[in-house]
Amino acid sequence: MLAAKEMQLREFQEEITTLKEKLLADDKEPCCLSQRSVPKDPCRLHRENDQIMCNMEQWAKEQKIGNEKLGNKLHEQVKYIAKLTGEKDHLNNFMIFNTSADHHSQVFK
């Protein structure tokens, strides 16, 4: 899940880079639209870009927190499985010991 989210983050970053490149290319090209078209507002574009980056950072933080919670749950489950495995081995050894003790007591009667 973490790998998928990291991949998604990389894709978003690549998309931002592509959009930035297109924006720069658009700024360099002469404007072929009529004079009545709305000129580009670099301040607005900068604010939007900052907002996108802020949103991406917030998303990344949320993903990190979620992944840490999942990691903690997995760690607890591993500890619980180890405990259960130890108990199973203990019971198995107990059963083997009792079975062999019963067998020895019957042989020596």
Cβ–Cβ < 8 Å for 42, 26:
no
Question: Mean pLDDT, to the nearest integer, of 63-84?
Answer: 95
List the one residue out of 52, 15, 81, 9 whose CA is nearest residue 1. 9
The pTM score is: 0.45
- How far CA 93 is from CA of 58, 65, 80, 81, 82, in Å, comes to 52, 42, 20, 18, 16
Q: Would you say the C-alpha torsion 42, 47, 51, 53 has a positive or negative sign?
A: positive
pLDDT, mean over the chain: 83
Q: What is the pLDDT of residue 103?
A: 66
Q: Which residue has the higher pLDDT, 102 or 71?
A: 71
pLDDT digits (tens, 9 = 90+) for 18-53: 888 888 887 665 555 444 455 568 888 999 999 999
Q: Which residue has the higher pLDDT, 90 or 29?
A: 90
